Amino acid sequence: MPYHDTVLAKSRNIGLDPAYVYGLIRQESRFIMDARSGVGASGLMQVMPTTARWTARKIGMTDFTPCLINDRDTNITIGTAYLKLALDDFDGSMALAAAAYNAGPGRPRNWRNGPLLEAAIWAENVPCTETRHYPNN
């Protein structure tokens, strides 16, 4: 389990299941600390710069600067905090929170207003291809 101590500490401190965080990290970066996406997400948890700044303010991280996003501890702190905020926003739905983490929160907010479907069927009908295949990659 890469980054074991940091992931466990940051996850448990804010009430996240470390396995959920590990699943997200695996999907986002395949555990590559300096990963960078084509749209600008960076680090282990693939956080967008604007999301990192917003989350840092939200959690009271006053010393955050954009260059810190590739620092392991900072990336995990911000990534787990953002995931927890999404999880809380989506009333504990891990599927919607993960979708929000990947696709932004606006899309899953609209999706949850659709028909009530069993989770596996819902996941197969997510309109964004990358997010639809998110747990399977």
- Look up residue 51 and give its two tokens: 């999301």
> Is 28 a known active-site residue?
yes
Neighbours of 52 (CB within 10 A): 27
Measured from the Cβ of residue 103, the count of other Cβ atoms closer than 10 Å reads 18
Please give the Cα distance from 23 to 117 (Å, whole number): 23
* Amino acid sitting at position 21: V
For the chain, how many residues are written? 137
Among candidate residues 81, 67, 63, the one with its CA nearest the CA of residue 9: 81
Answer for the pair 48, 39: CB distance below 8 angstroms, yes or no. yes
The catalytic residue positions are 28
